[in-house]
Chains A and B, each alone.
Chain A
Amino acid sequence: MSDKKRLTQAIINLNEEMVTDIVKKMITDNVEVTDIIDACRDGMTAIGDLFEKGDYFLSEMVMASELLTGVMGHLKMKVDRGPIKTLGTVVIGTVEGDIHYIGKDIVVKVLEANGYLVVDLGVDVSPEKFVEAIRTHKPKVVGLSGLITEAIGPMKKTIDAIEAASLRDKIKIIIGGGIVDEEICSYVGADSWANNVSTGLKIINEWVGENVGE
């Protein structure tokens, strides 16, 4: 089995020791960073499928995200040597008034592993900051995260502000978090919603496949 396939399998199995050993070997062997990231992405895709089937839980997503942080740490020096081609930019943040980050952070790691350039605005992000970030980074997709029920209002306020800034038709907006559903999606004016990372990734991949914002 190739190192690339072994790395994918080690990620799926959440075998931390093996992941570290293979990544170190691949770096020593001068394997392209994009190949290492591809192997991670394949692993995360398989983890997403296991999650959807109910074989994996959020505990596995958290651990996978921890593994990816480790891999990215090993790759950092290599990555700094030159730009990596990305699928597109995603601006993401937890909306104003909500300071929860665990779900958002998992999404950020998974999107990065899947080749997206992610601009993470953090938590308690005002509508103005989202608008400013959209102007600056020209993302294809904007993700609004929220855990508490009080996040519904600020999600709507943020999308209204994006609309008022005439930026709405240039981007797709997805809302995510434990509270979101179809009704909230339509109420706040988002394009789609997800309450797990694997569904969210699929939606974003579909949009990007349709060349949103280009």
Chain B
Amino acid sequence: MLENNVNKILTQKIDRIEKAINLGKGDRVPFCTILGVNAFQANYAGYSTADLSNDPNKFGHSKVKLVKDFDIDMPFGTPGQNNTIAITLGEDYPDLRPSIVVMTGRIHSILQDKFTKWPGQELDQTSVPQFVGKKFLELDEYDEFIENPPKFINQKIFPRAYRSLENTSSGIAYGALIKWGKELFIYNAAMQAIRTELRALGCPQIITVNANNPYDFIADFVRDFDQAIIDFHRNPEKIEAAAEAMLPYIMRFIEKTTNLPPEAKKNFDIQNPIVIYPLHLNEFLNRKFYNNYYWPMMKKLINADIKSGRVPLILFEGDHTPHLETLLDLPDGKIIAHFERPNWSKVVEVLKGRQCVMGGIPTSLMVTGTPQDVEEKVREMLELFDGGKGFILSFSHYSLPGDTKVENMRAVVNSLNKYS
């Protein structure tokens, strides 16, 4: 009886998600969250953000509680930040994919990386993990990187980025590598347990991988963000060649991570994998830089995804409105486009009926608004998309602050059930 009920919920949720991606609507508009370690999730489950950062099982428990209490259909998010600089390690050891690119509080304390900061370590117990980035490649080293990215990363960036690997032939370094591996094992086991628990609630399991536009990879992990922007002005040919050099490694990582053997694929409920691309440079780049460099690279990734049956879920950070029309280059109904703070009427004008759109609730409203405000916002968003066709409801920003009101979270689901 219970199993029948779970299967019913599961079928319903799969239908919601698949129909939304295909520009239609199931019984209800899907509710999606992309949450890493965030203060609301921690508080709500009775933990600190440091707990969630350091213990993937506690993260799992808090995530399952949120999904259950707020009827979330697509709960993405891992307990931490990105360690994407390690992406090429999957070349020699394929079984390290995909978790090799995950940074948790514990992995941070082992590797002592310079590009993230963590609650309970550099930050207060109740803060959230943050990506700061740092410059790990000087301008005159670009050519060396371009010639062989994995070699440069292994030999130059790792010792610069991870304090524990500063001296790669030291006991500290060897020990750190062993501990890193051990931690990944614990992490993978915890993620597996979360998937099983979520599945038991009727929450569909989707093959998911996080990936970057190579320009974002260079900006975040290689050159530092503002230096990368200055490179677009002063040395566009260098940053372009570096991004081109990284592209095959990123594509291979996506392909190998999502192309599972049939016996593993059986554990997933939606067969088209989702590739989550958080874009960082998009809002910053002018039309020339975006159209001539960044977007063509993005299109290569998207087209490869479409060809292999994957669905790119693109997180357009900031205000993406000026670049919206470039999305018309893509075939209809092939991506999910999440927007943080766009001009929504422009989004509707350009994308309604062309691509599945995601977002809609300003995260700040969860703190500053009342349940009535939230209800009004949900109603307004569904109306914009003809009752919610080709639409997935989500928050504007991925991290829910600690001051988020529980009654506002309830209002999201209640309004979704009421109006869609």
Contacts and interface: CB of A to CB of B under 8 A. Distances in A.
Contacts of B172: none
A150 B128 contact: yes
B284 A58 contact: yes
Interface centre among A16, A98, A149, A183, by most chain B C-beta atoms within 10 angstroms, is: A149
Nearest to A63: B233
A142 to B, nearest CB: 21
Interface residues of A, number: 33
Nearest to A58: B284
Contacts of A178: 318, 340-341
B284 A187 contact: no
B229 A62 contact: yes
Contacts of A149: 363-364, 367, 397, 399-401
A66 interface: yes
B399 A150 contact: yes
A179 interface: yes
A124 interface: yes
B128 to A, nearest CB: 5
B289 A59 contact: yes
A99 B399 contact: no
B365 A99 contact: no
Interface magnitude class on chain B: 35 or more
A164 interface: no
A57 B402 contact: no
Contacts of A99: 117, 123, 130, 132
B401 A98 contact: no
A152 interface: yes
A120 interface: no
Contacts of B230: 62-63, 66
Interface string A147-177: 0111011000000000000000000000000
B187 interface: no
B407 interface: no
A56 B364 contact: no
Contact of A16 (B38, B234, B364, B401): B234
Contacts of B364: 149, 152, 179-181, 183-184, 187
Interface string B217-256: 0000000011001101110000000000000000000000
B127 interface: yes
Contacts of A150: 38-39, 127-128, 399, 401-402
A93 B61 CA distance: 36
Contacts of B400: 149
Interface in B367-420: 367-369, 397, 399-403
A102 interface: yes
A57 B284 contact: yes
Interface centre among A14, A16, A54, A99, by most chain B C-beta atoms within 10 angstroms, is: A99
A94 B315 CA distance: 24
Interface in A62-95: 62-63, 66
A178 B362 CA distance: 12
B127 A97 contact: yes
Contact of A183 (B287, B322, B369): B369
Interface string B115-137: 00100000110111010100000
A62 B226 contact: yes
Contacts of A38: none
A152 B403 contact: yes
Contacts of B403: 152-153
20 contacts: A57-B287, A58-B284, A58-B285, A59-B233, A62-B284, A96-B124, A99-B132, A100-B132, A105-B226, A124-B123, A149-B397, A149-B401, A150-B38, A150-B401, A152-B401, A153-B367, A178-B341, A179-B364, A179-B397, A183-B365
Given A59-B285, A149-B397, 14 more contacts: A54-B322, A57-B283, A57-B284, A57-B287, A60-B286, A62-B226, A62-B230, A97-B124, A99-B123, A148-B130, A148-B397, A153-B367, A178-B318, A195-B341
Interface of A: 14, 16, 54, 56-60, 62-63, 66, 96-100, 102, 105, 124, 148-150, 152-153, 178-181, 183-184, 186-187, 195
Top 3 closest pairs, chain A to chain B, by CB: A57-B286, A58-B284, A187-B368
